[in-house]
Amino acid sequence: MQIFLSAFDDVPDPRASNARHDLAELLVIAFVSVLCGSSSCAEMAAFGRAKESFFRGFLKLRHAIPSHDTFSTVFRMIDPKALDAAFGKVLADVAALLRDGDVIAIDGKALRGARGKGESARTRMMVSAYAARLRLTLASATADHGTELDAALEVLGLIALKGKVVTADALHCNRRTVAAINAGGGDWCLALKANQDSLLSDARACFGQLTEGHPQARTEDRGHGRKEQRTAVVTSAKGLAEHHEFPGLKAFGRIEATREIDGRTSSETRYFALSWTPAPEVLLATVRAHWAIENALHWQLDVSFREDAARNRKDNASGNIAVLRRRALDVVRQDPSKGSLSIKLKRAGWDEAFLCSILNGVKPAPPAA
């Protein structure tokens, strides 16, 4: 537990100097409560009171458990970036396991319950950089009122990109994003759609010039009444980087997918802008890996942590508690025992020994050589 307390000590405390509750201890209580299912400041306070004897095993708690108003005030005030950076230190040894060629998926998720009256469901978002193979959130940033692209650029600036492959949807297929990834030494595979109409038109023209026998790769998946076949092709984009002022563009990828679900067949063709020329098999694997951010992160946040129902909305509260949910997911996934994620989260709330094994399973990163 000391690793969490040490990391939270680095989070700037915006409160007055006479604040009664230690910030690091308050953040530990909040984080553990979210890991065990809390979704609001009232639930954090109730969980803390119910588990006060447990927390006194490693916290001083000079003024007992903070009230729900205290939790609310703190999360409205502290900087979500600083909180996320503290967790980055806690999980630094896991992030160090990234390898060259690993996919880092960038995507935003709406905090639907955090919207105010009259605001759209996508007014407040959380943009994450997600290591697909490790199933780890590397960094996240809040995006309010249509600033998803800016938040994504902020996230890219927080992580080491050299040797990695960044994937993202068509919103991020633009010169600013590719310039940021290029500067970090990474490669990119970005969905190409009508928002880059001229580039998309040239990509289609390049594929139209391919001769018979051009290399391609094919995969087929079956299960749960669904059959899907994907065919991938990669072609050179020679000369088009300069023509479109799109630095680093080397190739285009195309994946044609045919799905059959309960006897109904549909098809889709997707195009990608690429900073290198991968084999078709690699393109398929890269695009498939991107969906980990949807299936392993966003879906779990809604199903296991009920994020869409969370109503934290004032000031920084929605962003800070969203950080806690993402990092609780990261920490639970370090537990090697068998069992579904949802059962582990419930078990952590029921069984203090199991909760301790999860928290103590996060090891500090080795000192730099």
- Predicted confidence (pLDDT) per residue in 62-72, tens digit: 999 999 999 99
**pLDDT band for position 276 (50/70/90)?**
very high
Buried b (16+ CB within 10 A) or exposed e, 55-65: beeebebeeeb
- Check residue 320 and give its pLDDT: 95
- Check residue 116 and give its pLDDT: 66
Q: Does residue 325 contact residue 34 with C-beta atoms inside 8 Å?
A: yes
Q: What string of DSSP letters covers 153-219?
A: HHHHTTS--TT-EEEE-GGG-SHHHHHHHHHTT-EEEEEE-GGGHHHHHHHHHHHHTPPTT---EEE
**pLDDT band for position 310 (50/70/90)?**
confident
343, pLDDT greater than 60? yes
13, pLDDT greater than 50? yes
- Check residue 367 and give its pLDDT: 46
- Check residue 368 and give its pLDDT: 42
- CA atoms of 313 and 27, how far apart (whole Å): 18
Asked which of 208-212, 225-229, 242-246, 332-336 is least confident by mean pLDDT, the reply is 225-229
How wide is the angle at C-alpha 145 spanned by C-alphas 144 and 148, nearest 5°? 65
- Check residue 138 and give its pLDDT: 97
**pLDDT band for position 223 (50/70/90)?**
confident
Q: Does residue 126 contact residue 107 with C-beta atoms inside 8 Å?
A: no
**pLDDT band for position 151 (50/70/90)?**
very high
| Domain-wise residue ranges, the chain | 2-78+335-360, 93-299
224, pLDDT greater than 90? no
Sequence-distant (6+) residues with CB within 8 A of 305 are 34, 37, 39, 325, 328, 329, 345
Q: Which homologous superfamily does the CATH classification assign to the domain defined by 93-299?
A: Transposase Inhibitor Protein From Tn5; Chain A, domain 1 (3.90.350.10)
Of the candidates 327, 331, 330, the one whose C-alpha atom is nearest the C-alpha of residue 356 is: 331
Q: What is the pLDDT of residues 52-88, one digit of tens each?
A: 999 999 999 999 999 999 999 999 999 999 999 999 9
Q: What is the pLDDT of residues 101-120, one digit of tens each?
A: 999 999 999 988 776 666 66
Of the candidates 136, 159, 137, 126, the one whose C-alpha atom is nearest the C-alpha of residue 316 is: 126
Sheet with 124-131, strands from edge to edge, namely: 136-144, 124-131, 103-110, 165-168, 187-192, 264-274, 251-261, 226-236, 217-223
Sequence-distant contacts of 359-362: CB under 8 A, at least 24 apart = 359/1, 359/4, 359/32, 359/331, 360/1, 361/331, 361/334, 361/335, 361/336, 362/3, 362/4, 362/90, 362/91, 362/331, 362/334
Sequence-distant (6+) residues with CB within 8 A of 117 are none
- Check residue 369 and give its pLDDT: 40
As a whole number, mean pLDDT of residues 22-45 equals 96
313, pLDDT greater than 60? yes
165, pLDDT greater than 80? yes
Q: Does residue 115 contact residue 121 with C-beta atoms inside 8 Å?
A: yes
Q: Output the CA–CA distances (angstroms, integers) from residue 244 to 196, 285, 301, in the order listed.
A: 10, 27, 38
Of residues 10 and 311, which shows the higher confidence score?
10
